[in-house]
Structure 1
Amino acid sequence: LPPIFTFLLAAGLGLEKRSWIKLAGLSIAVVACAWIVLQRHSEISSPNALWFAMGLLIPAMLSIGNVYRSVAWPSGVKPMILASGTLLASAATLGLFAGLTRTSIFPATTGLQLVSIVGIQGLLTALTYLCAFELQRRSNPVFYSQLGAVAAMFGLLIGVIWFNERYSVGIWLGALVVILGLRISNRTKPTSPET
């Protein structure tokens, strides 16, 4: 849902041209992602209406963040500074929370192997934040909001390659429809040849 909410918000604020084709492409991709999730988690029972409504707050907040970052991007500030600041603020918040609740960040029995894994994960997270801020700087909020759908497609590939998962034809068809929806929403108008 973040791509659709972001598009509607950005179009409403005049940051994005209103386009039924773009909205249709985003909708196709979102519905296909939902189809994949339902295929993989068919045991999901019908949700409580209150929790479902609260769940809709997450994509709404993500959409507001996508638009806000584009509108309020500090001039002259590089993505590295913003990524570093975000991660340092998160680390400080975690440290403060751990201190106030007297919760250890690492259990006393933590071995070197786990610390190494956490260190590698930290480096990958830092790289992810750097890439995300760089992409946000170079694109618009609607394009950026489509990262979730792209991540879902890579998640399927990682599941097959790394975890030896096997998916049904319905899931692969859903993945193709996601790609089709993203292609429709990001299509560019052909340019006329120069005379």
Structure 2
Amino acid sequence: MVAQNTVAQETSTARMLALLMVTGGLLAVTLIFAKLASDAGIPMLWYQAVVTGIAGAVQLGIAALTGQIRGDARHLTLYAAGAGAFQATPSGMAYLAIGHVGAGYVSLSFAFPILLTWVIARLLGMERPSTTRLIAVLLGLGGGILLAVAKFSGAPGGTRAWILVATLIPVVLAMGNIYRSRFWPHGAPAVLLAGMMLVACAGWSAIAAYASEGPMPVAIFTDRLWLLLTLGNAATFAVQFVTYFMLQRAGGPVALSLIGSVAGVIGAAVAISWFGETMPVTTPVAAVMIAIGIALMLRSQKAAVV
């Protein structure tokens, strides 16, 4: 019996690690696509609306083909509307800021939600006290603070406002992590929820885009580069949010927030090697702190299964 429990624990931890790495890596890819889209001059809120709309439609199509859309699926609409708003807001902030502060810093800002999510979850009684988790989230946050302070101190005045926007992204992300876990519809499949959330995200994004950027540019569908960047990011979103919801269901909101740490390290590495961006001198130390935090969080997750 003990041996069976040990195998189950190891399988659960390995599955969570795999979901964490895949989801975090795909998040980094979406941010890289956003950087390329910004450099290409695509209106970023319309870009977000079209990308999430296509991805959500693909997922809903898969859900329909696999029999996940049933007669009672309409009760998920309110949940999806809220989840879509929590997705559209931080993504929009990231897409708008990325052209000003770079893909590296925006990626690394996604490492911040760990502590915020854990604190909110503890206040709501969704997490039990854990010294290991406290140390893990403090390490992740500490790494993020090292980067933020160094980035802010060396930035020109006009860029500092966008640094603050990027730094506030984790606050909304943490709230979204809590919302999705606390109000998760019982028995709802991940693909259906992900599809509905992304379609709602597209709707909220389109409203904001029309108000701030005017009518949607037809070039998103006619310009070859714009279309390639749109379809590539939509495909990434479609896969990412299936694993995203699977990870949330398996590990809860705090474990889910670790994808930001993975995306931060991968995104920063790509920004430096592909786009020639410069990162603060504290980046290596911050990356080590984040990596240790991930290891501790996974260890505490394994202990929770015992």
- Normalised to the residue count of structure 2, the TM-score between the two structures is 0.51
2:19 is the alignment partner of 1:19: no
- Residues 110-155 of structure 1, C-alpha deviation per residue, up to 9 Å, x if partnerless? 4233212211111112222222122112111111112211111111
**Counterparts of 2:248 and 2:279, CA distance in 1:** 32
Larger radius of gyration: 1
Structure 1 stretch 123-132 or stretch 135-144: which is displaced more?
123-132
Q: Which has the higher contact order (CA 8 A, sep 6+)?
A: 1
- What are the within-5 Å matches in structure 2 for residues 13-92 of structure 1? 13-40=124-151, 42-44=153-155, 58-92=169-203
Gaps of 5+ in 1: none
SS in 1 for 2:215: coil
Classify 1:31/1:131 alpha carbon distance in 2 versus 1 (closer, same or farther; 3 Å): same
Aligned partner of 1:176 in structure 2 is 288
Aligned partner of 1:145 in structure 2 is 257
2:225 is the alignment partner of 1:113: yes
The one-letter code sitting in structure 1 at the alignment partner of 2:291 is: I
Paired residues of 1:98 and 1:105 also in contact (CA < 8 A): no
- Residues 26-51 of structure 1, C-alpha deviation per residue, up to 9 Å, x if partnerless? 11111112213444554237978xx9
The one-letter code sitting in structure 2 at the alignment partner of 1:7 is: W
Paired residues of 1:70 and 1:141 also in contact (CA < 8 A): yes
Gaps of 5+ in 2: 1-111
**Counterparts of 1:108 and 1:154, CA distance in 2:** 27
The one-letter code sitting in structure 2 at the alignment partner of 1:146 is: L
Classify 1:103/1:169 alpha carbon distance in 2 versus 1 (closer, same or farther; 3 Å): closer
**Counterparts of 2:176 and 2:220, CA distance in 1:** 37
**Counterparts of 1:157 and 1:95, CA distance in 2:** 31
Paired residues of 2:220 and 2:227 also in contact (CA < 8 A): no
Superposition RMSD in Å: 3.5
**Counterparts of 1:39 and 1:68, CA distance in 2:** 32
Paired residues of 1:39 and 1:170 also in contact (CA < 8 A): yes
Return the structure number with greater helix share.
Answer: 2
| Cα drift, residue 85 of structure 1 | 0.8
- Residues 55-88 of structure 1, C-alpha deviation per residue, up to 9 Å, x if partnerless? 8865343223212211211122111111111222
The number of residues matched between the two structures is: 188
Paired residues of 1:63 and 1:145 also in contact (CA < 8 A): yes
Aligned partner of 1:8 in structure 2 is 119
